[in-house]
Structure 1
Amino acid sequence: MNKKIGIISSIVNLCAVVGFALCMLLGSNFGSYFICMFIAFSFVPMICTLVVYSEPENKAAGYTAMIFAGIYAVLILLVYFAQVTVINLESLNEQALKILDFQKFGLFFNYDLLGYGLMALSTFFAGLTIESETKADKWLKALLLIHGVFFISCLIMPMLGLFTEDMQGADWIGVAVLEFWCIYFIPIDILMILHLKKKS
């Protein structure tokens, strides 16, 4: 069962990341928000499965990865569920929109960055649990560890106020960064599937 959960969640995560990339290219904000919830839904069991198969001496790193994954999921689901429900269906005043609307680069946008920062931190600790037995495992470990670097930028950028509504080119810059992230994360999902397939 553990192996099945891990492989299925990795496949769902892969499909969600690809779907997210396509939605951004098509300019569908609703689609992007909706599909991102499935990245969160699948990321948590994917990380949990890694921990199940980790060596005893790596369990502390694994448990840390699980906790950060859970916090990431909570933040991201709050942000995107608000976008597809309240923002999409309600008529809100400007002050409420400034806080809740992702496109306004306000509080919920900052929560989103914090969430992805915690996801990065989770992948870093998840990478520490992997014993590099094969070339594919070495790549998976390296990609997870390097992905952890995103934590720093995701944590610091909101504090610097780099993103504002009147920022020129904010939309295409955001899309470009997120498309790069998708391209980076797709191999992680593929390698995760291969890694878990070897487990008994």
Structure 2
Amino acid sequence: MNRTMGMLGSAITLISVILFAVFMLIDYSSAAYAVCIVLACGYIIMASSFGAFAAIGFEAAKLAGIAFAIIYGVFVMLVYYAQITTLQQNDLTEQAIQILDYQKFGLFFAYDLFGYAMLSVSTFFIGLTIVPKNKVDKILRTLLLFHGVFTVVGIIPVLGLFNSDMVGGEIIGVLVLEIWCLYFIPICILSYQHFKQQEIRSV
């Protein structure tokens, strides 16, 4: 079951990332928001599956990776669920829109980036649990560890680099997300292969 769940989580995450990239390019924001919720669910399954196959001696990194995955899931689900419900289904004041619409670079924009920072921390700890047995594992471990660098996105709201008056801010935001998608797609593919080649463990 652990092997199957790992492959399933990786597949869900992969498909979600690809769809998110496409929806962002064609400016279909509602679908992009919805698929991000599915993406978070897929990654939590994937992270938990990595934990199930973690070697003895890596318990702390395993638990940290799963914990940060859950924190990531809570924050991004909160942000994107609000986008497709409260924001789009209600006649809100300009002040409320400034807070809830993450494209306005307000509070929910900060929550969104914090969530992705937690995702990066999660992948770093997950990477630590992988003991490479082949080329796939080595590349996957390197990508997961290096993905931890994306934690710096959590600093962006603190520095105030993006604001509602910024010219071209939305385009830059989309470009950054597309780059992230291109980076994370190989992680999903290699994770699927990693779980596929795991031996089924008896309980």
C-alpha separation in 1, matches of 2:49 and 2:62: 10
* Structure 1 segment 71-110 matched on structure 2, within 5 A: 71-110=71-110
Correspondence for 2:198: 199
CA positional deviation for 1:65: 0.3
Distance 1:22 1:60 in 2: 36
Name the counterpart of 2:176.
Answer: 177
Match in the other structure for 1:155: 154
Which residue type is aligned with residue 89 of structure 1?
Q
CA deviation after TM superposition for structure 1 residue 139, in Å: 0.5
- Greater displacement, 165-174 / 11-20: 165-174
**Range moving further from structure 2, 93-102 or 107-116:** 93-102
The offset of 1:31, in angstroms, is 1.2
CA RMSD of aligned residues (A): 0.7
The amino acid that maps onto 2:109 is F
Q: 5+ residue gaps in structure 2? A: none
Quote how far apart the aligned CAs of 1:195 are. Answer: 0.4
Structure 1's unaligned 5+ residue stretches are: none
Would you say how many aligned residue pairs link Structure 1 and Structure 2? 199
1:166 corresponds to which residue?
Answer: 165
- In structure 1, the residue matched to 2:46 is 46
Cα distance in 2 between the residues matched to 1:72 and 1:171: 22
Task: Give 4+ residue runs of structure 1 displaced > 2 Å after superposition.
Answer: none
| Alignment partner, residue 186 of structure 1 | 185
Q: CA offsets per residue over residues 153-181 of structure 1, 9 Å max, x none?
A: 22211101111111111111111100000
Measured against aligned partners, the alpha-carbon deviations of 1:33-59 in whole angstroms (never above 9, x if no partner) come to: 111111101000100000110101111
Instruction: Name the % identity.
Output: 46
Residue 128 (structure 2) pairs with residue 134 (structure 1): no
Q: CA deviation at 1:144?
A: 0.2
Q: Which residue in the other structure is 2:62 paired with?
A: 62
Distance 1:35 1:195 in 2: 24
Deviations 1:73-111 (A, max 9, x none): 000000000000011110100111111111111000000
TM-score, normalisation: structure 2: 0.97
